[in-house]
Amino acid sequence: MFASALETIPSANIIDYLKSLSQKETIVRFVVGYPVNLNGRPSEAAHDVDTFLGVLRKEFPDVPVTLEDERFTSVLAHRAMIDGGMKKSARRDKMEVDKISAAIILQGYLDRNQNKGTK
C-alpha cells in the first residue's frame, strides 16, 4: 500500500474539509504528524497540534487518531522533490512540501503497521 497526498488545506478549513470528505469516503483513522524535538519531547508547535487534536476528536469521536513523529519529514520531502526532478521554484512552495511531508508521514505509519492488521 502506498500513501499519496490528496491536497493541502489551510488550517482554518481542515475540519470542514474533513467533514465534507467523510460524506464521500469512510474515514477509519487519522494519522497526524506530531512535532517533536531531537530529544523526542514535544516542540513549541506541538501546542497548536494539541489544540487541533482536541477539535478533531470532538468532531470525529469514533475515529481513532494516531500521532506520528514528523521530525525530518520536510528534509525528506525536499530530497524527494530534488530526486523527482522538481524545479527549484516548485521546491520553495510550502504547500507542495507539506503535501509530500504528509505522504511521508502516512507511508511511515503504513509501513510499520502493514502486518499488524491495523487500518
CATH code at 24? 3.30.420.140
Domain extent at residue 37: 12-70
Q: Give the residue among 21, 10, 17 at the shortest CA–CA distance from 94.
A: 10
For residue 27, tell me if it sits in a domain.
yes
22 shares its domain with 45: yes
Measure the CA angle with vertex 69, ends 64 and 72; round to 5°: 145
Q: What is the pLDDT of residues 84-95, one digit of tens each?
A: 888 888 777 777
Query: 77 with 53, same domain?
Result: no
Q: Assess whether 21 and 65 both reside in one domain.
A: yes
Instruction: Assess if residue 113 is contained within a domain.
Output: yes
Tell me the whole-structure pTM to 2 decimals: 0.80
22-77 pLDDT per residue, tens: 999 999 999 999 988 888 888 888 999 999 999 999 999 999 999 998 887 777 87
* 31 and 50 both lie in a single domain: yes
